[in-house]
Structure 1
Amino acid sequence: MKTFLRRFENTRDLVILFGTWGIDDKAFSNLCTDNHDFILFYNYSADEPLILPEMKTYRRVTVIGWSLGVWAAEYYSRKLGIKPDLTIAINGTPVAADDKYGIPLKIFEATLNNISNYSMARFYLSLFGTRSLFEVNRAYIPTRTEKSLHDELRWLYNRMMEPVETGFVWDYALIGKEDSIFKASNLKSYWSMHPETRQIMVDAPHYLFGYWNSLEEMIRYVRRFRLSPFRNK
């Protein structure tokens, strides 16, 4: 697993983002401000020990899971001793390879078995939703080898097949109505079984971060919505 870290003096907030498959730090480095420290986890090809900043030094720790990163956040948070104050799941569920609640298993396996430059170009186009958004965000498209992409997705697939009860609770689930990777209907089906999580629907594709100028702005948007009355804090 790889880690991208940005730290500033005197910042009191920490944002931890568990990215999806196939990305690198370019997808988010432009969305960071100097008002918070930022940790991005990505390329989940192997379990590696990580050294995190002392959580107790922060006023607020926000954990964001995007796509397959929702599963990764649950899988890693306890291992890393992360105790978030706010949790946001974005266009994903903890059961990422699932016909009803995630990416249909046949599609997941077909993606794993057919990774190429051509298939990845199609994947990144689906990530942004439209050709115009793809062109606008071209500078943020990851630079990854086919081998690293295959190794990562194989590792994720194998781990996801191992059922794990984490006790992790998500405060908010942000759902893009135009998501073509995780269907909005599957996302809604999963999160509707978890009334403790407040669902927020947005007119956006799978990569919806470009609709805000920064992660900080996106978090402020989410916090405008009240927590679910079923959420015990």
Structure 2
Amino acid sequence: MIQDFISNEGKKGLSLFFAGWGMDKRPFGSLACKDMDIMICYDYTDTGFDYRLIERYGTIMITAWSMGVWAAGKIIPCLKAKGKEITRATAINGTLLPVSDLYGIPEKIFSGTLEGFSEKTLTKFRRRMCGDTANYELFMSGAPLRSIGSLHDELASIYKTATSENSSKGLDDTTCAETIKAECQGNWSDAIICTKDRIFPADNQIRFWTDAGISYELTDRTHYCNDIFSLKITGR
């Protein structure tokens, strides 16, 4: 993944934000925090993480959105193993099982989006992500500057890796809840679920975080919810 500082002023704490699929720094570049530096992670074509970039921080606050929840789920246990204090880890509109009929985006929808991916389907996705014209125009005023090819490659990589992980874990109806709880307890603080989310079905998110034993808040928003991002990333 790409790790990019939004603000890097030598502060003691770090706000670490895992963005969703298809993002870059541009939609979030104006964020600032009085007490923490801010780093954004995006492009999960490769989920590798360079821990050297954040060695100097003793405390880290994590916010993860959409596919970033899945990506952050790989990194949080490693940060804790390295002795980092995670002050909070909040998931927004995502789960650790992004390709799942029960806990994420249904497999047929995910694979269908990938197979037919184009400029047209990207526009359709972004409109569904934003929900209404005003929110769409807000997003597009600072939309990511990435090529269609890079977005397709990232989506394909997420699909391949996530489905492979599902298979290797042997997840089924009898073992899934147990596995989810083991992976989430002690790593995640809370979740925010937007009931108007047209990307990650809210019912699947509720099912995931309930089985994980993690408290969640329901709010009447869409998948892209800039005001919630701003509040959580800046620690307000």
Task: Tell me if 1:38 matches 2:59.
Answer: no
TM-aligned CA distance change 1:216 to 1:120, over 3 Å? closer
1:65 Cα offset (Å)? 1.5
Task: Specify the alignment match of 1:74 in structure 2.
Answer: 73
1:33 Cα offset (Å)? 2.8
**Following the alignment from structure 1 to structure 2, what is the Cα–Cα distance between the partners of residues 207 and 157?**
21
Counterpart code for 1:183: P
1:79 Cα offset (Å)? 4.9
How large is the RMSD of aligned CA atoms in angstroms?
2.2
- Where structure 1 has 5 or more consecutive residues not aligned to the other structure, the ranges are 221-233
Task: Specify the alignment match of 2:63 in structure 1.
Answer: 64
Residues 206-225 of structure 1: pairs in structure 2 closer than 5 A: 206-211=223-228, 214-216=231-233, 219-220=235-236
**Following the alignment from structure 1 to structure 2, what is the Cα–Cα distance between the partners of residues 34 and 139?**
25
1:36 Cα offset (Å)? 1.4
1:213 Cα offset (Å)? 5.0
Task: Answer 1 or 2: which has greater helix percent.
Answer: 2
Task: Specify the alignment match of 1:7 in structure 2.
Answer: 8
Residues 38-187 of structure 1: pairs in structure 2 closer than 5 A: 38-48=38-48, 50=50, 51-54=52-55, 57-58=57-58, 60-79=59-78, 81=82, 83-161=85-163, 162-163=165-166, 167-168=183-184, 169-187=187-205
What SS does the aligned partner of 2:40 have? Answer: strand
Asked whether the equivalents of residues 45 and 155 of structure 1 are also in contact (C-alpha less than 8 Å), the reply is yes
1:211 Cα offset (Å)? 4.7
Task: Specify the alignment match of 2:173 in structure 1.
Answer: none
TM-aligned CA distance change 1:185 to 1:118, over 3 Å? same
Task: Tell me if 1:204 matches 2:221.
Answer: yes
Task: Specify the alignment match of 1:192 in structure 2.
Answer: 210
Q: Deviations over 1:68-97 (max 9, x none)?
A: 111101123345646522110110010111
Asked whether the equivalents of residues 77 and 83 of structure 1 are also in contact (C-alpha less than 8 Å), the reply is no
Q: Deviations over 1:124-177 (max 9, x none)?
A: 112211112111232221121111011111111111121467834311010011
Asked whether the equivalents of residues 17 and 233 of structure 2 are also in contact (C-alpha less than 8 Å), the reply is no
1:111 Cα offset (Å)? 1.1
**Following the alignment from structure 1 to structure 2, what is the Cα–Cα distance between the partners of residues 179 and 198?**
18
TM-aligned CA distance change 1:177 to 1:114, over 3 Å? same
1:212 Cα offset (Å)? 6.5
**Following the alignment from structure 2 to structure 1, what is the Cα–Cα distance between the partners of residues 32 and 195?**
25
TM-score, length basis structure 1? 0.83
The alignment-based identity, stated in percent, is: 29
What SS does the aligned partner of 1:149 have? Answer: helix
TM-aligned CA distance change 1:134 to 1:116, over 3 Å? same
- Where structure 2 has 5 or more consecutive residues not aligned to the other structure, the ranges are 170-178
- Size of the aligned set, in residue pairs, is 215
TM-score, length basis structure 2? 0.82
Q: Deviations over 1:173-229 (max 9, x none)?
A: 10011111111111111111122x111111111011235755455x43xxxxxxxxx
Asked whether the equivalents of residues 115 and 149 of structure 1 are also in contact (C-alpha less than 8 Å), the reply is no
1:114 Cα offset (Å)? 1.4
**Following the alignment from structure 1 to structure 2, what is the Cα–Cα distance between the partners of residues 39 and 24?**
11
1:27 Cα offset (Å)? 2.1
Asked whether the equivalents of residues 95 and 104 of structure 2 are also in contact (C-alpha less than 8 Å), the reply is yes
